Amino acid sequence: MLLNKLFGRFSHDLGIDLGTSNTRVFVRDLGLVIDEPSVVAINTRTNQILAVGVDAQDMLGKTPPHVLTAKPLQKGLISDFDITEKMLKYFIDRVHKESFTIIPRPRVVIGVPLDITEVERKAVEDATTFAGAREVFLVEAPMASALGARLPISDSLGTMIVDIGGGKTEISVISLAGIVTWKSLPVAGDEMNKNIIQYARDVFNLMLGERVAEKIKMRIGSAIELAEPLEMEMRGRDMITGLPKEIMVTDAQIREALSRSIDTILEQVKAALEITPPELVADIYERGIVMTGGGSLLRGLDRLISRGTAIPVRVAEDPTTTVVRGTGHLLEDDALLADIALPSATDTSII
């Protein structure tokens, strides 16, 4: 419709990283403007949104029965369509709050997982369209991540990206603006939190909350032995007495808890290298592996992967935002966007 085009002229083009843990929004000419947890709190009696992002995350595990706190994305994919749509609409409206647009109709580029199906692609496109977008472009998250890390994806050089997010780890080899080989596994930040929860239960008979486990992972978690040992308190509910309990845990204990997930990621990196063409492996050996995503910030994980593969490994600058910065770059480069965007699963363009 002509009206949509008119509203679109006064709307901001957006790049979105729709992540399991966090949703990030990049606005053309403004940069990264939103970086909030992918959590929504809803009053089930009135069906009203009470909070989105940080405010909703603070409510996790603390709400009365009629308030639902939901994480609408699991393993990088939409698990609750309606709540995802509401969350996207909230963020789109928030971006346009300062402008004169009554009904925002932005053009949106979104990063999606490598193993996304056509049905799942359609769900992302529909949710974004219903949230107010006039055009939706989907790009594979590792491609966007490589762009955000300023890697030369269009060159005939092999580039390996290991993106460890909240719900998934995606390992991909990129050359000539395409993904040559890849591995996707459901072991990432959230799984590491579960490892700590399970370890606390098995070893200390202690029931932990997810937020507590994540804090422990971030504060003292590591993949290799540290030069200076770390420790912190672990607070939860004693499974035997049912009463609150606090114990001190060390980095060595948390490393033991995380070892299964870390070993799985390392093995999959090796497996991806084994199926990569020799010419590209030679490039990767020379140029190194680049790590992105929040999981890459785990202490010593880059060195562990470097030891295991005998290839230099570096963590990208600001690794948590590489995907959204890559989608922002694509808003400025229509030719590259047309080259790497996935085929639409539905006609999302509103004329």
Q: Is 252 helix (H, G, I), strand (E, B) or coil?
A: helix
- Quick: pLDDT tens for 230-239: 999 999 999 9
Query: Is the pLDDT at 351 greater than 90, yes or no?
Result: no
Distances (CA, A) of 164 to 29, 172, 188, 330: 28, 12, 6, 22
Domains and CATH numbers, the chain: 2-144+322-340 (3.30.420.40), 156-187+268-318 (3.30.420.40), 189-258 (3.90.640.10)
Query: Is the pLDDT at 143 greater than 80, yes or no?
Result: yes
- Amino acid sitting at position 88: L
- Token pair in block for residue 16: 């979105």
Assess contact for 145 and 112: CB atoms under 8 A.
no
Lowest mean pLDDT among 59-68, 258-267, 313-322: 59-68
- CA-nearest of 261, 273, 290, 277 to 162 is 290
Give the pLDDT confidence score for residue 47 in this predicted structure.
Answer: 86
Assess contact for 37 and 54: CB atoms under 8 A.
yes
Distance CA 320, CA 225 (A): 24
pLDDT category, 3, cuts 50, 70, 90?
very low
- Cα within 13 Å of Cα(97), Cβ side: 8
Tell me the average pLDDT across 50-54: 91
Query: Is the pLDDT at 253 greater than 70, yes or no?
Result: yes
* Predicted structure pTM score: 0.88
Distance CA 191, CA 76 (A): 13
- Quick: pLDDT tens for 19-36: 889 999 999 888 899 999
Share of the chain above pLDDT 70, in %: 94
- 78 DSSP β-pair partners: 73
pLDDT category, 100, cuts 50, 70, 90?
low
Highest mean pLDDT among 55-64, 150-159, 188-197: 188-197
pLDDT category, 344, cuts 50, 70, 90?
confident
Give the pLDDT confidence score for residue 184 in this predicted structure.
Answer: 94
The contacts of residue 36 (CB under 8 Å, 6+ apart) are 22, 23, 24, 52, 53, 54, 91
- CA-nearest of 76, 97, 204, 84 to 142 is 76
CA 56-61-64 angle, to 5 degrees, is 85
- CA-nearest of 269, 285, 271 to 157 is 285
Distance CA 30, CA 173 (A): 31
Local structure of residue 146 (DSSP, 8 states): H
Assess contact for 4 and 350: CB atoms under 8 A.
yes
- Quick: pLDDT tens for 274-328: 999 999 999 999 999 999 999 999 999 999 999 999 999 999 999 999 999 999 9
pLDDT category, 350, cuts 50, 70, 90?
very low
Rg from Cα positions in the chain: 21
- CA-nearest of 311, 7, 306 to 133 is 7
